[in-house]
Each structure stands twice: as C-alpha cells, then as structure tokens.
Amino acid sequence: MESLTIPTWAQLVFLLCAVGFILALKGLSGPRTARVGNLVGAGAATVACALPFFYADLDHVVLILVAIAIGTAIGVIGAQRVQMTQMPQLVALFNGVGGGAAALVALLELRRLAELDELGADIPVAYLVATGFTILVGSVSFSGSAVTFAKLQELMTSRPVVFPGLPIAFGGAFVAALVVAGLIVGQPAVWAGIVLGLLGLAVGVLLVLPVGGADVPIVISLLNAFTGLTVAAGGYVLQNTVLLVAGTLVGASGTFLTLLMAGAMGRSVPNILFGALKGGSTLGAGEASDRPVRSAGPSDVAILLAYAERVIVVPGYGLAVAQAQHTLRELVDLLAERGTKVDYAIHPVAGRMPGHMNVLLAEAQVPYEQLVEMDDINAEFKQTDVVLVVGANDVVNPAARTTPSAPIYGMPILDVDQARQVVFMKRSMRPGFAGIENELLFDPRTTLLFGDAKDSMGKLLAAVKAL
C-alpha cells in the first residue's frame, strides 16, 4: 500500500518531540517542576506542528496558516480570560476539539484509503480498523465533551437527563456504529465514514446526558482518555511517531485519572456512567434547609481561631468562586506568625477536578508544604482545635459514611466531624453539588459564618488582627 512519506530526519525530530511530551508529563507530576514541564510540552508541540511545513509538499498553505492563526488567537484569549472556576469547562472544550479534529483527519484518511482500494491496492486491515476507531471514538469524545461543557457552564441542567427509551436509543446507536465500522473494515467508503461519525456524535450525547452532579468531571477525564486513544490510532494510520506517543500518553494518563477520581468518589466507572438509568442519581433534592443552626459573626470566629493551637483549613469550590484565596493565605500566615499550626486539607476531588485547589492556592503563593492530602491529614482531625471549611460541603459530609441512601455514600471524605470545633463559611444553607443536606452543619460543635467568602474572609482577617 502506498504510504505517507516522512523523511528519516523528520521522523527523528518527531521522536524528539515525543520524548519532550514524556518529559513534560513527568514535570507536571510535581508542583516545583510543573511550570518547566508545561513549557517543554508546549515547545515540543510547537515544533511538531511546524515540522510538516519543512518536509511535506502541502496544498492550501495560506488557508492552513490562517486557520492556525485563528486557532492560536482563540486559544490565547480564551486561556487568559478563563476564570479558575471555569477551568474544567475549558478542559472539556479543548478535549472535545481534539477528539473532533482526530475524527476529521481520520475521515480524510478514509477517503485516501477508499481511492487506493478502488485502484486495487492491498490495504492492511489494521489501518482500516484504526481509521474506523478514530472516527467513532473521536466523534463520541467531541459530542460528549460538548455536553459536559454545557452542564458545567450551566447552559443546561447539571442533573442527569433521562427519558423513556434512552437505554434502547444508546444501545441501538452503539450497535449501529459497530456495524458501520465493520463495513468500513470490509470496504472503505467515505459515506460509511460520515454515517459512522454521525452515529458517534449520537452515542457521545446519549452517554453523557444521564451523568450529573459531581460525576461530570470524571466523565471529562474519561473522554480525555478517549481523545488520546483516537490520536494514537490516528498516529498509527498516518505513521506519525509524535501522534502515536502523545496520544498514548494522554490515553493512559486519562484512564488512570478516571480510575483515581472514581475511587476518590467511592464509585465505579460503570456506575457513574449508567447509574441514573437504574433509577439512581448523583444529585439530591437540592433544597435549602430551614432547620436551626448556630451562627456567629467574624469577631466570634476570630476568637476561636486566635486561641487555637491547631487549625486545619478545608478549601472548596466556594473559595474558588469567591476568589478569596489571597485573603485566606493572609489569614493563615497571620495565625502561623502567632504560633498556630495551620495546614490545608485537600480532598482528591475538591473543586471540580483533581488539582483544582492546589492550583488555586498556588496562585495565592501558598507554600506547597502546607497542602496535605486527605489520606495524610485525616488522622489529625481528632487533635484539631478548629477546622475552617471555606466553600466545601460534599467532601466533608458524614452522610458519605452513615447514609446508604445518599448519592455520595461510600465516597472517602475529610474527617472534619471529628474535630473539636468546626467553622463553616457559607453563602447560604443551600446544599453542595450533590444536593443533599450536611448533618455536620447542625452539630453543636459547628458554627456558621454566613456571607460571601471573600467579604467574610476579609472581615475575619481584620478581626483577628484586632485581637
């Protein structure tokens, strides 16, 4: 079969770019090396994108450059303007675009393979399988990521969307996609590729619609793995080393991240994807409670903190929304100067994605040594004088241990309920993302400080300074 000709020197450069991606992934595994790792990955990607201009006889070069310029402008402006709270949506959007691009490239490659087939060329079955796989899974990733973006951006309800016949529709679309993919393997045809892509779009939508609540970020990670696999398959078809290695890295890391996130939620991936179809839900009622609670003002909470020897801060999504991380760091620094031992307790899925809180607090120059993972800090809550919960709810809800009917039951949580005193900074009594009440709010040891987190944190900081 006629193959795409890539000079040996270009393949070697692609290989070096692939090594750069591996080094970048290694660098991203730690906070001290993350910035350098990110730059190495970006540099390798830039070289890989520019390389074809130096060895390939490209058509429509002007249009390609215009498309690159437009895409670069959109990416730079979008990345600069996106809020930290919207980072998961941005990841979903970029991931979907990657899957869609892989599917379109595979569709173009299918046209070339169809032309070769008409000329009687011997096309390896593995090429046709990889091409069909890329079209199908890339389309699933594109449409599924679009739905996750809409859910997180609140363009549609974040609750599971289930309708009569959804399992049948999903199963039918999936089976039909497999049949069409089989036709492509038997005889490559562009029309079959287009139909396969449309079926993949339908499968992606139907796959993500029943997912709701805190499970959406896990699905983003799963779709990210799908995109990586499509890029790897596309690299095999195009005989491109850098695509093959980069796609494999994304696919493998996305798979591990999905499993880790599911484990942190105490759920299995099939349960996350299809639990709502069996009548379950990742959301509760979502109604605010009118039960009495003990509340206090900033001055009262300041006294609790000022006379505490051990304080643990639990940051959550509300902290990110209010952009109160800088004021929180000032408060923690002030307490530490006065001899109080203070750490931040980080739940694996605090915020909307793993690492969300780490990045948010790093932005406020919080020392990495103060960020302690759940497994390492849970044993310390029993000896803690005050736990300050800022914008978190579900990750400290004891219902995960005590209430089998709760949608978060089985999810590992921070053992905040074992501390001597707990202070919740909340805007209202509205439940967290899982939509269920937190019994810890009504515990006699719990004090609530109502208000916007940034405003309340500023008042609390001033009150502590005044003591």
Residues catalogued as catalytic: 394
Rounded CA-CA distance 245/105 in Å is: 17
Position 50, amino acid: A
Position 171, amino acid: G
Rounded CA-CA distance 195/197 in Å is: 5
| Residue 243: HSE in the Cβ half-sphere, 13 Å Cα cutoff | 23
How wide is the angle at C-alpha 311 spanned by C-alphas 310 and 314, nearest 5°? 150
Contact 448, 317 (CB under 8 A): no
Q: Sheet containing 341-346: give its strands across.
A: 371-373, 341-346, 310-315, 386-390, 421-426, 446-450
